[in-house]
Amino acid sequence: MIKKLSLRLSAAAVALMIALFSTALCFAEVTQQYAIEDDAAIFTDDQLDSLRDKLSEGNERTGWQLILHTSSLGITSELNNYYNKNYYDQKSFAADAVVLVFDLGSNKGTVISHGEAMDYISDQRMSSLGSMLRSYMDNGDYYGATFAFVDTLEQYHSDGIPTGDTFDNITYEQKTNKFLYVLKHYGIIIGIAAIAVGVIMFFVIKSKYKHMGVSGTYDLAANSSVNLSDVEDQFVNQYTTVRTIKDDSDSGSSGGSSGGSTHGGGDF
């Protein structure tokens, strides 16, 4: 009797766990081909089914993991960096991936590209993609936006890497040739610093050859003595001043920083 009861309880526990797991899957579904996290709960079950198919299809054609994420956080600026750091970097997504985020709290969105996808989504393409997605968002058509998003990515992949475009304001050649990039963007600064180091070295060494041994020619302590007859230390007054110390945490850390892994993309 007790044995039967414990068996039933175990079965109930397993059923409960399965039920809970299934519920969780409704909110977050992640595969190697795609991922959907509808935290803002804007899609119906039917829409989610269609979107799964669409994202899966996009993955097959591009090889990139396509991720759709909706939220209500209301991030108003630097969405790209924020969601890259606090969403993409926190999950175990694929290295070659594109994330589409709709932030309903701020009515803004962002596209985050990673790995190979970064080479295909140039500044110009991102701008075009963003404008298109913006128009869908303005109509509240997130479902249509996602379809258009996947279609556009497939088109970009089909068209190949736009070597004539820029990526974060640098050309593809510069992007792939780090040496050229550093040389072009920082060459003058590094060159000036290097020349400054050389010049400083020149004069420091030259000065070390000059007038060695000038100091310490007379030792006053060794050549003097004193016999004191008047010694007076008279207290005159005392005062105290107070100064408010500025908290270190008040200073610095102004302005945003692009934290998180290397990524591309842009807000819209």
Partner 1 sequence: MATMNYVCPNCNGPLKFNPDKQMFTCEYCFSEFTPQQVQAQNAGKEQRETYDEREVNRYEQNQAQAQAQGYDAGDDYPVSYVCPSCGAEIVTTSTTAATTCFYCDNPVVLGGRLSGQFNPDRVIPFALSKENAVNRFLEMCGKKKFLPKGFTNKDHVDKMRGVYFPYWFCDQQKSALLTATGKIIRTWRSGNKEYTETKVYHVVRGGSVIINNVFERALQSEKREMLQSVHPYDLSKATPFAMSYLSGFEAEKRDLEKADVQPAVEQRMHNYAEQVLKNTMEGYDTIDTESFSEQTELEAWTYDLLPVWVLTYKFNDRILPFAINGQTGKAYGELPVAPGKLAIASAIVSVIVFALGVLGGMLFL
Alpha carbons 260 and 82: distance in angstroms, whole number: 8
Residue 142 CB, shortest distance to partner 1, in Å, is: 35
Which residues from 173-202 bind partner 1, rule CB under 8 A? 178-179, 181-183, 186-187, 190-191, 193-195, 197-199, 201-202
Q: CA nearest 109: which of 92, 91, 87, 89?
A: 87
CB of residue 167 vs partner 1: minimum separation in angstroms? 12
Of 190, 195, 162, nearest to 264 by C-alpha is 162
Total number of residues binding partner 1 (CB under 8 A)?
56
Structure tokens at 144: 């249509």
Provide CB contacts within 8 A for 192, sequence distance 6+: none
Nearer to partner 1, 5 or 220 (CB): 220
Task: Tell me how far, at minimum, the Cβ of 104 lies from partner 1, in Å.
Answer: 35
What is the Cα–Cα distance from 186 to 268, expressed in whole angstroms?
Answer: 30
In terms of CB distance, is 40 or 183 closer to partner 1? 183
Residue 107, Cβ neighbours under 10 Å: how many? Answer: 12
> Do the beta carbons of residue 66 and residue 58 sit within 8 Å?
yes
Q: Does 19 bind partner 1 (CB under 8 A)?
A: no
Query: Which of 1/205 has CB closer to partner 1?
Result: 205
Token pair in block for residue 147: 């379809």
Is 260 strand, coil or helix?
A: coil
Choice from 3, 92, 243, 251 touching partner 1 (CB under 8 A) = 243
Residue of 120, 155, 164 whose CA lies nearest to 111: 120
251 binds partner 1 (CB under 8 A): no
CB of 65 to partner 1, least distance (A): 24
268/129 Cα distance (integer angstroms): 9
Binding to partner 1 in span 210-239, by CB under 8 A: 210-214, 216-221, 223-239
CB of 245 to partner 1, least distance (A): 5
Give the bridge partners for 5, in sequence order: none
Q: Is 249 in the site for partner 1 (CB under 8 A)?
A: no
Interface positions with partner 1 (CB under 8 A): 178-179, 181-183, 186-187, 190-191, 193-195, 197-199, 201-202, 205-206, 209-214, 216-221, 223-247
